Structure 1
């Protein structure tokens, strides 16, 4: 029987996850087990011509065809001569079982890689996890500060009539002026069109609103590009758009992903504010003004990379105001307890913080 390590390495190769040193090890093992080389070709053949992304339906069809082709090839290879000897029957069963195991590993390891579009070679992506923030300079000189739990997708070079980036989460932009090429920030809730300015965008999928805050210059918040539905902001103004989130199941992965829908039932209101709290995070300050504890908890989760839950839901709507810089999580929680009201924070053995 072939070494189990071969099947593991073959599965990783099919899933495009094989490291250089593992590639060498696989080559060495295939030399020792020549009968595994044909199986390797069968396994990898189905992936050689898959350079374009597949839809979920196409993925299932392709996987089924690949499975049938593999099973057919195995049968042709292993059953050219019939023998009733127990040894031959056992060898045939073991080999088919081994190929099936490799197919299953390749299926589960490779289906995600197969069903999702590959990252465009001409684009880059910056991702910040909870508890971290980052800064990047775009090809046109625009500077972007990315807050915790956010993702920014942008091209390696801006081409065409406008400069477009895609944002999920929160970011502060200092846009380089270019009158010939407007700068466009796209989110799931709206888009922002500018020429050169400083502004903040907060559009997290799990939050009940998406907010644009303008510091200097001018921006257009594009709600519907086809209908030319636009809201113009002036310095120190912000626009908050209510959103609702629905969960949609992926037919291939069978997991759920958020789909954000704007709720615009009445004319939107532009609020004139100092926008200090909205942009304080860029200066490494945690700030909120008359914010319900429920939203403060979300900010703390993102800022410190922790998990916070409520034991008493009545505490969710207690309003808080605060500005913190360089304080630890424990110091922030203690200050909120002393100045916030009738709630307390407790941390359990698993590190989860409970509000009660």
Structure 2
């Protein structure tokens, strides 16, 4: 049952015991039950023990079974090393704490979200839009927000957003958003690198899984970039700013769950101004106007843009050519025109093999 699984995963998250696979499953369930985000926010606050929780006889049969499972999971003593606080002495307290959290979450879910504004009792049907390499697409979301989806990208979104509560979509790849303003329903874009929160604005997100960094660029309004799944670390962006972070940030921080904040390695963030090339053209958002633009970019990354833009494969016979830098703005469907313009600098040549692969020499 999805709801029972949901409060089980919420309980494990609060106890800091989620595995990477469980964290992904939890995000999917929160998409299906968006108002569970309210419950999550309530129980992620520092826990205050105010007394003994209700006994299992006072809980529903489903809750009682869940508490028994929690009790069984804490029953095995764990060995401690010198200097550590013996965890066996705290096991009973932790079990009652987890039991209380589980009971509270289960109670809210079991009664059908009765105490949550704008509740929904059924998962929101999901839709998906994917674009192949060389293809770009536009989409009007149910709330009136508009999305431009770049090539090789995928957007998951609900068929309709709940009357109240957050509007949530999932992105893999690159997209430009113009968000319809709704103060009662904040908009969230979830990627594998970060989560973006916004009320009404326009911004670009680039988070391809094969790239080593993810970038969000703000054109108008204001956005908040969450750097962890609990929303404890945030960065605010102003118009004409962009933020670059490691693309595996969420996964890396999950793997460091047992590490204290003092022991965590520093996160390398780069906040910069948008890259103006000429007139009002910025390299981060030019693709929305069907312009391919880049400024002082390595040929290695330029070739990746060309692969996505034209749906081709580009390889290097001379690896040193990857370090060449180029600036350009192109508005053409002819790849040869772009390659000829770049090669006219005399810094490299290119050929095509019988399979159509382009080789840079």
Task: Report the TM-score, using the length of structure 1 for normalisation.
Answer: 0.60
Whole-Å Cα distance in 2 between the matches of residues 165 and 227 of structure 1? 17
Contact 1:182 1:195 in 2 (8 A): yes
Which has the larger share of strand?
Answer: 1
What secondary structure is seen at the aligned counterpart in 1 of 2:219?
A: strand
- SS of aligned partner of 1:211: strand
> Where does residue 350 of structure 1 map in the other structure?
355
Spell out the pairing of 1:18-97 with structure 2 (5 A cutoff). none
CA–CA distance in 1 between the matches of 2:301 and 2:202?
Answer: 25
Secondary structure (helix, strand or coil) at the match of 1:332 reads: helix
Aligned length: 224
Find the residue that maps to 1:173 and give its secondary structure. strand
Which residue of structure 2 aligns with residue 229 of structure 1? 233
Is 1:328 matched up with 2:334?
yes
Compared with structure 1, are the counterparts of its residues 237 and 156 closer, same or farther at alpha carbon in structure 2 (3 Å cutoff)? same
Q: How far off is 1:272 after superposition?
A: 1.7
Alpha-carbon separation, structure 2, partners of 1:260 and 1:328: 39
Whether the 8 Å CA contact 1:243–1:261 is kept in 2: the answer is no
CA displacement 1:92-148 (0-9 Å, x = unmatched): xxxxxxxxxxxxxxxxxxxxxxxxxxxx88110000000000000000000000000
Which residue of the partner structure matches residue 188 of structure 1?
192
Query: After superposition, what is the alpha-carbon deviation per residue over 1:141-186, rounded to whole angstroms, capped at 9, x for unaligned?
Result: 0000000000000000011410000000000000000001100000
Change (3 A) 1:264 1:178: farther
Taking only aligned residues, the RMSD between alpha carbons, in angstroms, comes to 2.2
> Is structure 2 residue 317 aligned with structure 1 residue 314?
no
Are residues 182 and 149 of structure 1, via their aligned partners in 2, closer, same or farther at CA, if it must alter by over 3 Å?
same
Q: Give the alignment of 1:170-189 within 5 angstroms.
A: 170-189=174-193
What secondary structure is seen at the aligned counterpart in 1 of 2:348? coil
Residue 207 (structure 1) aligned with residue 218 (structure 2)? no
Measure the CA separation in 2 of the matches of 1:274 and 1:337.
Answer: 23
Name the structure with the higher helix share. 1
Q: Could you tell me how far apart the structure 1 residues matched to 2:317 and 2:142 are? A: 47
Q: Deviations over 1:222-252 (max 9, x none)?
A: 111425200000000000112359xxxxxxx
Cα drift, residue 343 of structure 1: 1.1
8 Å CA contact 2:192, 2:248 repeated in 1: no
Change (3 A) 1:183 1:244: closer
What secondary structure sits across from 2:139 in the alignment? strand
Q: Would you say the 8 A contact 1:175–1:198 is kept in 2? A: yes
Q: Is this contact kept in 2: 1:205–1:260, CA < 8 A? A: no
- Are 1:241 and 1:264, in contact at CA under 8 Å, matched by a contact in 2? no
Q: Hey, what does 1:158 align to over in structure 2?
A: 161
1:171 and 1:334, CA in 2 relative to 1: closer, same or farther beyond 3 A? same
**Structure 1 stretches of 4+ moved >4 Å:** 259-264
1:296 to 297, 302, 308: 302
Alignment of 1:121-160 (within 5 A): 122-159=125-162, 160=164
Q: 1:140 to 1:121 in 2, by over 3 A?
A: closer
Distance in 2, Cα, partners of 1:329 & 1:143: 29
Say whether the 8 Å CA contact 1:145–1:171 is kept in structure 2: yes
8 Å contact from structure 2 (residues 171, 189) kept in 1: yes
- Output the CA distance in 2 between the equivalents of 1:200 and 1:264: 28
Specify the alignment match of 2:245 in structure 1. 241
After TM superposition, give the deviation of residue 265 of structure 1 in Å: 2.9
Counterpart-to-counterpart distance in 2, 1:154 and 1:192: 15
Q: Distance in 2 between matches of 1:121 and 1:228?
A: 27
2:223 pairs with 213, 219, 239, which one? 219
Which residue pairs with 2:22 in the alignment? Answer: none
